[in-house]
Homo-oligomer: A and B are copies of this chain.
């Protein structure tokens, strides 16, 4: 297991600096990037004892379906730049460990191919709404053909964030993505210009109706927006600041989660991501009211270092750590986690 904790460091050495900067980096001074990790760490757990924990159950219900544990793989673009196993690597790693897989709109592998490799394992497709709606429609079509269970519409990307590592490295991602909108390699600026900044709640509703698939909105931080999401009839939302890659110094998911979950009050599913690095971070998310969590970069570092097997080790470690946390918290069922298991430093 120790290799897992070294993946991040090893990946920094293995990757070309510009590519590493694209994967690891965040917006501005990367204050939110760091705070994402810190804000889980500073939440304090309050364990109970002697409740009998020989049988643990990490399972959660998500979009009406039981899942073995609350971990999803977050959608991440350009995985071929990480390792030749690319999206098929992370997808099959997810399948092998029971994690729901979320394929990025900026996949470097055809969504149908990814689907085939996954068999009947759980998968969702993340949707960017591009200015060129035909491209978005084609992705929805691929989602349907590939048996993707839900569409994750990312709503925190009306335009790209100010990622200075990319600006310094003048990073041009060389692997073509499935949505081949431009010819040849694209600069960050070109990539960001594809996104439609005029997107509103009405568009979301329209996409939902047209696709016939359940929608999950990714990138909500405000309780009022969460209310609006419930009203818009989506099936779930993801509390997220896009891994610190959009606007620097915004609230972390960990800090935004409580008020959002309270506003939603169980009417739709609430997920969270950003900075989840340990199984017990997931326990804290559930205690704060989340139904599940997405994990981004750690899975990527596993992929960079050891391909599919590395990604799988990372997810398995998180699953094992959560199981361990349930035992040591004296809360053998993940679904029973609540605010009583959190406390504060004095």
Q: Which of A29, A43, A47, A201: most chain B CB closer than 10 A? A: A47
Contact yes or no, A225 B50, CB < 8 A: yes
Q: Which residues of B contact A156 (CB under 8 A)?
A: 47, 49, 328
Contact yes or no, B159 A1, CB < 8 A: no
Q: How far is the CA of A45 from the CA of B247 in the complex (A)?
A: 9
Task: Give the number of chain A interface residues (Cβ < 8 Å).
Answer: 71
Once A44-B249, A251-B343 are accepted as A-B contacts, the answer to whether A161 and B328 lie under 8 Å apart by CB is yes
Q: Which residues of B contact A197 (CB under 8 A)?
A: 52-54, 327
Q: Which residues of B contact A159 (CB under 8 A)?
A: 53, 324, 327-328
Cβ distance A8 to chain B, nearest Cβ, rounded Å? 13
Provide the A308-346 mask, 1 if CB < 8 A to any CB of B, else 0: 000000000000110011011110000000000001011
A236 within 8 A of B: no
A248 within 8 A of B: yes
Q: How far is the CA of A87 from the CA of B156 in the complex (A)?
A: 41
Contact yes or no, B327 A167, CB < 8 A: no
Once A29-B278, A247-B324, A345-B39 are accepted as A-B contacts, the answer to whether A222 and B46 lie under 8 Å apart by CB is yes
Q: How far is the CA of A256 from the CA of B346 in the complex (A)?
A: 9
Q: Which of A35, A53, A247: most chain B CB closer than 10 A? A: A247
Q: Which residues of B contact A28 (CB under 8 A)?
A: 278, 280, 321
Cβ distance A54 to chain B, nearest Cβ, rounded Å? 4
Q: Which residues of B contact A254 (CB under 8 A)?
A: 346
Contact yes or no, A225 B48, CB < 8 A: yes
Q: Which residues of B contact A204 (CB under 8 A)?
A: 50
Q: Which one of B2, B162, B196, B250 lies within 8 Å of A45 (CB-CB)? A: B250
A144 within 8 A of B: no
Provide the A24-38 mask, 1 if CB < 8 A to any CB of B, else 0: 000011010001000
Q: Which residues of B contact A51 (CB under 8 A)?
A: 200
Once A49-B156, A222-B48 are accepted as A-B contacts, the answer to whether A2 and B168 lie under 8 Å apart by CB is yes
Contact yes or no, B1 A29, CB < 8 A: no
Contact yes or no, B46 A250, CB < 8 A: yes
Q: How far is the CA of A13 from the CA of B148 in the complex (A)?
A: 56
A68 within 8 A of B: no
Contact yes or no, A164 B1, CB < 8 A: yes
A255 within 8 A of B: yes
Q: Which 5 A-B pairs have the closest CB atoms?
A: A2-B168, A247-B328, A54-B198, A49-B155, A54-B197
